[in-house]
Amino acid sequence: MSIRHGLLALLERGQMYGYQLRAAFEESTGSTWPLNIGQVYTTLNRLERDGLVRPLPEHEGGQRPYEITDAGRADLALWFATPISRADRPRDELSIKLALAMTTPGVNVRAVVQTQRSATMRTLQELTRLKYASDKPEDLPWRLVLDAMVFQAEAEIRWLDHCETSLVRYRPAPRAGPPARSGAPEHTDEEVHR
């Protein structure tokens, strides 16, 4: 997602100036994505350059409101209509870290997993508290943002549980000579069925 589409969506509600946009952006994402005013104005300049918004005459207070153009509306409609590709998201540092932990000598991988699970579990508790505290009907957009984060945290914990179960069964191949082929963990019945 880009800030740009966030601002276009807000301007679709009506004309706004920079500080109003920032406040509305933070409100609609429950302050999970804080913006600084510099980012707002840089983005507005780019949107203006691309013909997606246009500036209006300054208010008496010196604030210049912006409004969305027809081209901006079309861009926004396209954004809403297009699914987000997983490939567009940042690389997952956690899975890379775990993979590296398994191949780095002297790292206690189960402790890395446990530490991450504790942290993610705490995040999940905090998110749930926020949800519990926002149960008014008008809180729904915010609750759905929270739900998205809750489901992501849950998925991460499930994956960590899976990693831990797999680690119990994992016996690294001896490292003598050329690197051994990975992906063939040995199973010890005793440990698997314990």
Nearest distance, CB of residue 151 and other proteins, angstroms: 7
Residues facing 66 on adjacent strands:
16, 55
* The one-letter amino acid at 78: L
Q: Which is nearer to other proteins, 74 or 119 (CB)?
A: 119
Structural contact between residues 21 and 40, judged by C-beta atoms closer than 8 angstroms: yes
List, in order, residues 6 or more apart from 114 with CB less than 8 Å away: 164
Whole-angstrom distance, CA of residue 137 vs CA of residue 6: 22
Q: Which is nearer to other proteins, 13 or 175 (CB)?
A: 175
Nearest distance, CB of residue 110 and other proteins, angstroms: 6
Nearest distance, CB of residue 60 and other proteins, angstroms: 48
Nearest distance, CB of residue 186 and other proteins, angstroms: 12
Q: Which of 138, 147, 150 is nearest to 27 (CA)?
A: 138
Q: Which residues bind other proteins (CB under 8 A)?
A: 105-112, 114-115, 117-122, 124-125, 127-129, 132, 135, 150-151, 153-154, 157-158, 161, 165, 167, 170, 194
177 torsion bin: left (phi>0), alpha (psi -120 to 50), beta (else):
left
Nearest distance, CB of residue 182 and other proteins, angstroms: 15
Q: Which is nearer to other proteins, 16 or 109 (CB)?
A: 109
Structural contact between residues 18 and 65, judged by C-beta atoms closer than 8 angstroms: no
Q: Which is nearer to other proteins, 31 or 128 (CB)?
A: 128
Whole-angstrom distance, CA of residue 189 vs CA of residue 119: 31
Q: Which is nearer to other proteins, 60 or 190 (CB)?
A: 190
